[in-house]
Amino acid sequence: MNRYVISAVVVVVFIIVCTLPVNALAARSEIKLVDSPWAQVNTDGFGSASNGQIPTLAVFNGFLYAGTQNYGPEPDHTEIWRTSNGTSWEKVDDRVASGGAALIEYDGYLYCGSWGDADGGNVWRSSNGEDWTEVVTNGFGDANNGIARFAVYDGMLYASTWNGTTGTEIWRTTNGTEWQQFGLDGIDGDACNGGAIASAEFNGDLYWGIDNWTTTGAEIWRTDGINWTQVIGDGFGDANNDALSALSVFNGFLYASLLNDTNVQIWRSSNGTEWTHIVDGTIGGLNLHGINGLEVYNDRLYLVMQNDTTGLEVWQTLNGTSWEQIGFAGFGDSNNHLSYWDNAQIVFNDKLYIATNNSATGGEVWSLSLPPLDKVYLPLISR
Protein backbone atom coordinates (compact mmCIF):
# COMPACT_ATOMS: atom_id res chain seq x y z
CA MET A 1 0.00 0.00 0.00
CA ASN A 2 1.20 3.48 -0.79
CA ARG A 3 2.82 5.09 2.26
CA TYR A 4 0.69 8.22 1.84
CA VAL A 5 -2.46 6.11 2.00
CA ILE A 6 -1.14 4.44 5.15
CA SER A 7 -0.41 7.83 6.73
CA ALA A 8 -3.89 9.08 5.89
CA VAL A 9 -5.46 5.97 7.41
CA VAL A 10 -3.44 6.47 10.59
CA VAL A 11 -4.58 10.08 10.92
CA VAL A 12 -8.23 9.13 10.34
CA VAL A 13 -8.01 6.35 12.91
CA PHE A 14 -6.35 8.72 15.38
CA ILE A 15 -9.15 11.27 14.97
CA ILE A 16 -11.89 8.65 15.28
CA VAL A 17 -10.36 7.09 18.39
CA CYS A 18 -9.89 10.44 20.11
CA THR A 19 -13.50 11.50 19.52
CA LEU A 20 -15.36 8.23 20.07
CA PRO A 21 -18.42 8.43 22.33
CA VAL A 22 -18.00 6.30 25.42
CA ASN A 23 -20.23 3.35 26.18
CA ALA A 24 -22.68 3.08 29.04
CA LEU A 25 -20.87 1.78 32.10
CA ALA A 26 -21.87 0.03 35.28
CA ALA A 27 -20.80 1.58 38.58
CA ARG A 28 -17.29 0.46 39.51
CA SER A 29 -14.61 1.89 41.77
CA GLU A 30 -12.09 2.30 38.95
CA ILE A 31 -13.09 2.17 35.29
CA LYS A 32 -10.64 2.06 32.40
CA LEU A 33 -11.89 2.95 28.93
CA VAL A 34 -10.15 1.42 25.96
CA ASP A 35 -9.30 3.83 23.14
CA SER A 36 -10.86 6.83 24.88
CA PRO A 37 -9.27 9.76 26.70
CA TRP A 38 -12.09 9.63 29.31
CA ALA A 39 -12.38 7.42 32.38
CA GLN A 40 -14.87 7.28 35.23
CA VAL A 41 -12.90 7.48 38.48
CA ASN A 42 -15.55 6.92 41.18
CA THR A 43 -18.39 4.56 41.80
CA ASP A 44 -21.76 6.07 40.94
CA GLY A 45 -22.72 8.30 43.86
CA PHE A 46 -19.61 7.06 45.72
CA GLY A 47 -21.58 3.87 46.29
CA SER A 48 -24.94 5.52 47.07
CA ALA A 49 -27.53 6.53 44.49
CA SER A 50 -28.75 9.09 47.04
CA ASN A 51 -25.66 11.18 46.26
CA GLY A 52 -27.47 12.49 43.21
CA GLN A 53 -25.35 15.60 42.82
CA ILE A 54 -21.61 16.27 42.94
CA PRO A 55 -21.75 20.05 42.60
CA THR A 56 -18.16 20.94 43.48
CA LEU A 57 -14.52 19.86 43.19
CA ALA A 58 -11.38 21.37 44.76
CA VAL A 59 -7.70 20.57 45.25
CA PHE A 60 -6.16 20.83 48.73
CA ASN A 61 -2.88 19.50 50.17
CA GLY A 62 -2.34 16.94 47.41
CA PHE A 63 -5.90 15.61 47.39
CA LEU A 64 -8.84 16.08 45.05
CA TYR A 65 -12.03 16.74 47.05
CA ALA A 66 -15.65 16.35 45.97
CA GLY A 67 -18.77 17.63 47.73
CA THR A 68 -22.16 15.95 47.33
CA GLN A 69 -25.86 16.45 47.90
CA ASN A 70 -27.34 13.29 49.45
CA TYR A 71 -31.09 12.92 48.99
CA GLY A 72 -31.44 9.99 51.37
CA PRO A 73 -33.74 9.91 54.40
CA GLU A 74 -34.64 13.39 55.64
CA PRO A 75 -32.91 15.64 56.38
CA ASP A 76 -30.57 15.95 53.40
CA HIS A 77 -26.87 15.37 53.99
CA THR A 78 -23.66 16.72 52.52
CA GLU A 79 -20.76 14.33 52.10
CA ILE A 80 -17.16 15.24 51.28
CA TRP A 81 -14.93 12.68 49.59
CA ARG A 82 -11.26 12.84 48.63
CA THR A 83 -8.62 11.00 46.62
CA SER A 84 -4.85 11.29 46.39
CA ASN A 85 -4.47 9.32 43.16
CA GLY A 86 -7.67 10.30 41.35
CA THR A 87 -9.35 6.89 41.64
CA SER A 88 -9.40 5.60 45.25
CA TRP A 89 -11.79 7.69 47.36
CA GLU A 90 -12.48 8.04 51.08
CA LYS A 91 -15.27 9.91 52.84
CA VAL A 92 -13.95 12.62 55.19
CA ASP A 93 -17.14 14.43 56.21
CA ASP A 94 -20.87 13.72 56.46
CA ARG A 95 -23.22 16.25 57.98
CA VAL A 96 -26.79 17.53 57.90
CA ALA A 97 -26.64 20.26 55.27
CA SER A 98 -28.30 20.87 51.94
CA GLY A 99 -25.59 20.31 49.37
CA GLY A 100 -21.83 20.76 49.43
CA ALA A 101 -22.18 23.44 46.79
CA ALA A 102 -18.72 25.04 46.84
CA LEU A 103 -15.19 24.07 47.91
CA ILE A 104 -12.02 26.17 47.92
CA GLU A 105 -8.57 26.35 49.50
CA TYR A 106 -7.67 29.52 51.36
CA ASP A 107 -4.81 30.31 53.75
CA GLY A 108 -4.14 26.74 54.89
CA TYR A 109 -7.78 25.62 55.11
CA LEU A 110 -10.27 23.88 52.86
CA TYR A 111 -13.68 25.59 52.97
CA CYS A 112 -17.06 24.09 52.08
CA GLY A 113 -20.34 25.96 51.71
CA SER A 114 -23.90 24.64 51.51
CA TRP A 115 -27.04 25.85 49.77
CA GLY A 116 -28.87 25.88 53.07
CA ASP A 117 -32.25 24.80 54.35
CA ALA A 118 -34.80 26.83 56.30
CA ASP A 119 -32.07 28.62 58.28
CA GLY A 120 -29.74 29.45 55.38
CA GLY A 121 -26.42 28.10 54.17
CA ASN A 122 -23.39 27.25 56.29
CA VAL A 123 -19.62 27.37 55.79
CA TRP A 124 -17.22 24.93 57.46
CA ARG A 125 -13.49 24.44 57.12
CA SER A 126 -10.65 22.01 57.80
CA SER A 127 -6.88 22.32 58.05
CA ASN A 128 -6.27 18.63 57.35
CA GLY A 129 -9.30 17.59 55.28
CA GLU A 130 -10.64 15.35 58.05
CA ASP A 131 -11.55 17.51 61.05
CA TRP A 132 -14.07 20.28 60.32
CA THR A 133 -15.32 23.38 62.13
CA GLU A 134 -18.28 25.59 61.22
CA VAL A 135 -17.35 29.23 60.67
CA VAL A 136 -20.62 30.56 59.19
CA THR A 137 -24.14 29.52 60.13
CA ASN A 138 -27.63 30.59 59.11
CA GLY A 139 -26.70 32.25 55.82
CA PHE A 140 -24.65 35.10 57.28
CA GLY A 141 -27.70 35.98 59.37
CA ASP A 142 -30.16 35.78 56.45
CA ALA A 143 -32.12 32.55 56.06
CA ASN A 144 -32.57 33.31 52.34
CA ASN A 145 -28.82 33.04 51.69
CA GLY A 146 -27.39 29.80 50.31
CA ILE A 147 -23.70 29.59 49.41
CA ALA A 148 -23.14 29.75 45.64
CA ARG A 149 -19.40 30.14 45.05
CA PHE A 150 -16.06 31.01 46.64
CA ALA A 151 -13.22 33.09 45.19
CA VAL A 152 -9.82 34.22 46.47
CA TYR A 153 -8.72 37.71 45.48
CA ASP A 154 -6.08 40.11 46.83
CA GLY A 155 -5.50 38.03 49.95
CA MET A 156 -9.18 37.73 50.88
CA LEU A 157 -11.70 34.89 50.68
CA TYR A 158 -14.97 35.86 49.00
CA ALA A 159 -18.28 33.99 49.22
CA SER A 160 -21.31 34.69 47.03
CA THR A 161 -24.87 33.64 47.81
CA TRP A 162 -28.10 32.60 46.20
CA ASN A 163 -30.88 34.88 47.45
CA GLY A 164 -34.09 35.13 45.50
CA THR A 165 -35.70 37.47 48.01
CA THR A 166 -33.41 40.47 48.45
CA GLY A 167 -30.68 39.61 45.95
CA THR A 168 -27.30 37.90 45.96
CA GLU A 169 -24.80 38.96 48.60
CA ILE A 170 -20.99 39.01 48.44
CA TRP A 171 -19.16 38.42 51.72
CA ARG A 172 -15.44 38.39 52.41
CA THR A 173 -12.93 37.63 55.14
CA THR A 174 -9.21 37.83 55.89
CA ASN A 175 -9.20 35.11 58.56
CA GLY A 176 -12.08 32.79 57.69
CA THR A 177 -14.06 33.51 60.85
CA GLU A 178 -14.92 37.22 60.68
CA TRP A 179 -16.92 38.13 57.60
CA GLN A 180 -18.20 41.43 56.20
CA GLN A 181 -20.69 42.00 53.40
CA PHE A 182 -19.11 43.78 50.43
CA GLY A 183 -21.60 45.88 48.49
CA LEU A 184 -25.38 45.96 48.68
CA ASP A 185 -27.87 43.13 48.34
CA GLY A 186 -27.97 42.30 44.64
CA ILE A 187 -24.59 44.11 44.49
CA ASP A 188 -26.27 47.40 43.57
CA GLY A 189 -29.54 46.96 45.44
CA ASP A 190 -31.35 45.04 42.66
CA ALA A 191 -33.29 42.23 44.33
CA CYS A 192 -33.68 40.51 40.95
CA ASN A 193 -29.93 39.79 40.86
CA GLY A 194 -30.54 36.50 42.60
CA GLY A 195 -27.21 34.68 42.46
CA ALA A 196 -23.51 35.07 41.70
CA ILE A 197 -22.27 31.67 40.51
CA ALA A 198 -19.29 32.54 38.27
CA SER A 199 -16.08 34.39 39.10
CA ALA A 200 -12.61 34.97 37.65
CA GLU A 201 -9.66 37.27 38.23
CA PHE A 202 -8.70 39.13 35.06
CA ASN A 203 -6.33 42.07 34.47
CA GLY A 204 -6.11 42.76 38.19
CA ASP A 205 -9.85 42.84 38.92
CA LEU A 206 -12.26 40.23 40.28
CA TYR A 207 -15.23 39.59 37.97
CA TRP A 208 -18.57 38.09 39.04
CA GLY A 209 -21.27 36.70 36.79
CA ILE A 210 -24.81 37.34 38.01
CA ASP A 211 -28.20 35.83 37.22
CA ASN A 212 -31.27 37.98 36.67
CA TRP A 213 -34.05 35.57 35.85
CA THR A 214 -37.10 37.76 36.22
CA THR A 215 -36.40 41.03 34.45
CA THR A 216 -33.44 42.15 32.36
CA GLY A 217 -31.05 39.18 32.03
CA ALA A 218 -27.51 38.29 33.14
CA GLU A 219 -24.98 40.83 34.35
CA ILE A 220 -21.21 41.00 34.87
CA TRP A 221 -19.70 43.09 37.66
CA ARG A 222 -16.07 43.63 38.57
CA THR A 223 -14.26 45.01 41.59
CA ASP A 224 -10.80 46.19 42.50
CA GLY A 225 -11.56 45.34 46.12
CA ILE A 226 -12.84 48.86 46.81
CA ASN A 227 -15.51 49.70 44.26
CA TRP A 228 -17.99 47.80 42.10
CA THR A 229 -18.39 48.50 38.38
CA GLN A 230 -21.01 46.95 36.10
CA VAL A 231 -19.46 45.97 32.76
CA ILE A 232 -22.34 44.01 31.21
CA GLY A 233 -26.10 44.22 31.77
CA ASP A 234 -29.34 43.08 30.18
CA GLY A 235 -28.04 39.64 29.17
CA PHE A 236 -25.66 41.05 26.54
CA GLY A 237 -28.72 42.61 24.91
CA ASP A 238 -30.92 39.50 25.24
CA ALA A 239 -33.14 39.20 28.33
CA ASN A 240 -33.45 35.46 27.60
CA ASN A 241 -29.83 35.09 28.69
CA ASP A 242 -30.97 34.55 32.25
CA ALA A 243 -27.66 33.90 34.01
CA LEU A 244 -23.92 34.16 33.61
CA SER A 245 -23.04 30.49 33.98
CA ALA A 246 -19.22 30.51 33.80
CA LEU A 247 -16.18 32.78 33.52
CA SER A 248 -12.69 31.71 32.48
CA VAL A 249 -9.42 33.31 31.38
CA PHE A 250 -7.79 31.78 28.30
CA ASN A 251 -5.03 33.10 26.02
CA GLY A 252 -5.42 36.70 27.12
CA PHE A 253 -9.21 36.83 26.94
CA LEU A 254 -11.94 36.65 29.56
CA TYR A 255 -14.64 34.21 28.40
CA ALA A 256 -18.25 34.26 29.57
CA SER A 257 -20.80 31.53 28.89
CA LEU A 258 -24.50 32.12 29.40
CA LEU A 259 -27.52 30.16 30.56
CA ASN A 260 -30.31 30.33 28.03
CA ASP A 261 -33.36 28.08 27.70
CA THR A 262 -32.74 27.42 24.00
CA ASN A 263 -28.98 27.54 23.28
CA VAL A 264 -25.49 28.17 24.59
CA GLN A 265 -23.80 31.51 24.01
CA ILE A 266 -20.18 32.49 24.63
CA TRP A 267 -18.68 35.97 24.63
CA ARG A 268 -15.10 37.09 25.19
CA SER A 269 -13.19 40.27 25.97
CA SER A 270 -9.56 41.36 25.97
CA ASN A 271 -10.16 44.24 28.38
CA GLY A 272 -13.29 43.31 30.34
CA THR A 273 -15.44 46.06 28.84
CA GLU A 274 -15.61 45.41 25.09
CA TRP A 275 -17.04 41.99 24.25
CA THR A 276 -17.25 39.86 21.10
CA HIS A 277 -19.95 37.24 20.47
CA ILE A 278 -18.12 34.04 19.42
CA VAL A 279 -20.69 31.24 19.97
CA ASP A 280 -24.43 31.69 19.46
CA GLY A 281 -26.12 28.32 19.55
CA THR A 282 -23.86 27.18 16.73
CA ILE A 283 -22.33 24.15 18.46
CA GLY A 284 -24.08 21.07 19.71
CA GLY A 285 -27.60 19.84 19.11
CA LEU A 286 -31.03 21.31 19.73
CA ASN A 287 -31.17 20.00 23.28
CA LEU A 288 -28.13 21.93 24.52
CA HIS A 289 -29.07 24.75 26.86
CA GLY A 290 -28.99 25.81 30.46
CA ILE A 291 -26.15 25.23 32.92
CA ASN A 292 -22.62 25.12 31.56
CA GLY A 293 -19.04 25.40 32.80
CA LEU A 294 -15.65 26.51 31.46
CA GLU A 295 -12.21 25.16 32.39
CA VAL A 296 -8.70 25.53 30.93
CA TYR A 297 -6.61 22.38 30.60
CA ASN A 298 -3.38 21.75 28.67
CA ASP A 299 -3.60 24.73 26.33
CA ARG A 300 -7.27 24.18 25.55
CA LEU A 301 -10.50 25.74 26.79
CA TYR A 302 -13.26 23.27 27.65
CA LEU A 303 -16.99 23.90 27.67
CA VAL A 304 -19.30 21.47 29.52
CA MET A 305 -22.91 21.85 28.42
CA GLN A 306 -26.21 20.64 29.85
CA ASN A 307 -28.29 18.24 27.76
CA ASP A 308 -31.37 16.80 29.48
CA THR A 309 -32.17 14.44 26.61
CA THR A 310 -29.02 12.53 25.68
CA GLY A 311 -26.63 13.66 28.44
CA LEU A 312 -24.07 16.43 28.83
CA GLU A 313 -21.54 17.26 26.13
CA VAL A 314 -17.94 18.49 26.33
CA TRP A 315 -16.40 20.72 23.67
CA GLN A 316 -12.87 22.08 23.34
CA THR A 317 -11.16 24.93 21.50
CA LEU A 318 -7.55 25.84 20.79
CA ASN A 319 -8.23 29.41 19.69
CA GLY A 320 -11.57 30.34 21.28
CA THR A 321 -13.50 30.47 18.03
CA SER A 322 -13.27 26.97 16.49
CA TRP A 323 -14.79 24.27 18.67
CA GLU A 324 -14.89 20.47 18.45
CA GLN A 325 -16.78 17.95 20.51
CA ILE A 326 -14.72 15.63 22.71
CA GLY A 327 -17.26 14.34 25.27
CA PHE A 328 -20.51 12.71 24.16
CA ALA A 329 -23.93 11.75 25.52
CA GLY A 330 -23.27 12.07 29.24
CA PHE A 331 -20.16 9.87 28.95
CA GLY A 332 -22.50 7.06 27.86
CA ASP A 333 -25.22 7.72 30.47
CA SER A 334 -28.02 10.12 29.54
CA ASN A 335 -28.74 10.64 33.25
CA ASN A 336 -25.47 12.60 33.46
CA HIS A 337 -27.33 15.60 32.16
CA LEU A 338 -25.19 18.41 33.60
CA SER A 339 -22.10 19.47 35.51
CA TYR A 340 -22.90 22.06 38.17
CA TRP A 341 -22.19 25.56 36.83
CA ASP A 342 -18.56 26.63 37.17
CA ASN A 343 -17.89 24.70 40.39
CA ALA A 344 -17.63 21.11 39.20
CA GLN A 345 -14.67 21.11 36.79
CA ILE A 346 -11.02 21.24 37.86
CA VAL A 347 -7.48 20.19 36.92
CA PHE A 348 -5.67 17.77 39.24
CA ASN A 349 -2.45 15.83 38.65
CA ASP A 350 -2.35 16.77 34.95
CA LYS A 351 -5.89 15.59 34.27
CA LEU A 352 -9.18 17.41 33.78
CA TYR A 353 -11.91 16.25 36.17
CA ILE A 354 -15.63 16.79 35.59
CA ALA A 355 -18.31 15.91 38.16
CA THR A 356 -21.91 15.22 37.13
CA ASN A 357 -25.41 15.30 38.50
CA ASN A 358 -27.14 11.94 38.12
CA SER A 359 -30.50 11.41 39.83
CA ALA A 360 -30.75 7.76 38.74
CA THR A 361 -27.57 6.06 39.98
CA GLY A 362 -25.70 8.89 41.70
CA GLY A 363 -23.25 11.56 40.62
CA GLU A 364 -20.12 10.57 38.71
CA VAL A 365 -16.59 11.93 38.37
CA TRP A 366 -14.82 11.60 35.02
CA SER A 367 -11.23 12.42 34.07
CA LEU A 368 -9.66 13.42 30.78
CA SER A 369 -5.97 12.82 30.11
CA LEU A 370 -4.42 14.61 27.14
CA PRO A 371 -0.88 15.90 26.62
CA PRO A 372 -0.13 19.61 26.15
CA LEU A 373 -0.20 20.77 22.56
CA ASP A 374 3.59 20.92 22.33
CA LYS A 375 3.77 17.22 23.22
CA VAL A 376 1.22 15.79 20.78
CA TYR A 377 2.79 13.41 18.29
CA LEU A 378 1.30 11.38 15.46
CA PRO A 379 2.93 8.06 14.59
CA LEU A 380 5.06 7.96 11.47
CA ILE A 381 4.74 5.00 9.12
CA SER A 382 7.00 4.33 6.15
CA ARG A 383 7.63 1.43 3.82
The string of pLDDT tens digits covering residues 268-288 is: 999 999 999 999 877 876 677
More confident residue, 373 or 18: 373
**Rounded Cα distance, 282 and 201, in Å:** 28
pLDDT category, 20, cuts 50, 70, 90?
very low
pLDDT at 32: 37
Predicted confidence (pLDDT) per residue in 152-202, tens digit: 999 999 999 999 999 999 999 999 999 999 999 999 999 999 999 999 999
For 274, residues 6+ apart whose C-beta sits below 8 A from its C-beta are none
How does pLDDT run across 214-261, given as a tens digit for each residue? 889 999 999 999 999 999 999 999 999 999 999 999 999 999 999 988
pLDDT band at residue 375 using 50, 70 and 90 as cut-offs: low
pLDDT tens, residue by residue, 284-319: 766 777 899 999 999 999 999 999 999 999 999 999
What is the spatial distance between Cα 50 and Cα 69, in angstroms, rounded to a whole number? 8
- Region 23-52: mean pLDDT is 71
State whether the Cα torsion 270-272-277-282 is positive or negative: positive
Phi, psi of 45 (to 5 degrees): 60, 20
Separation between Cα atoms, residue 353 and residue 66, nearest integer Å: 10
Letter for the amino acid at 187?
I
pTM of the model: 0.88
pLDDT at 12 over 70: no
Between CA 327 and CA 297 the distance in angstroms is 14
Q: Is the pLDDT of residue 25 over 70?
A: no
Tell me the pLDDT tens digit for each residue of 323-361: 999 999 999 999 999 999 999 999 999 999 999 999 999
For position 35, what pLDDT does the model report? 63
Which DSSP string do the residues of 114-159 spell out, in sequence order?
A: E--BTTB--EEEESSSSS-EEEE-HHHH-TT-EEEEEEEETTEEEE
Domains, the chain, in order of start with CATH, read: 3-375 (2.120.10.10)
For residue 28, is pLDDT > 90?
no
Judge whether 88 and 355 are in contact, CB under 8 Å: no
For β-strands 146-153 and 133-136, DSSP reports them as unpaired
Q: Taking Cα atoms as reference points, which of 286, 274, 281 lies closest to residue 257?
A: 281
Q: Please determine, for residue 29, whether its predicted confidence score (pLDDT) is greater than 80.
A: no
pLDDT digit string, tens, across residues 80-107: 999 999 999 999 999 999 999 999 999 9
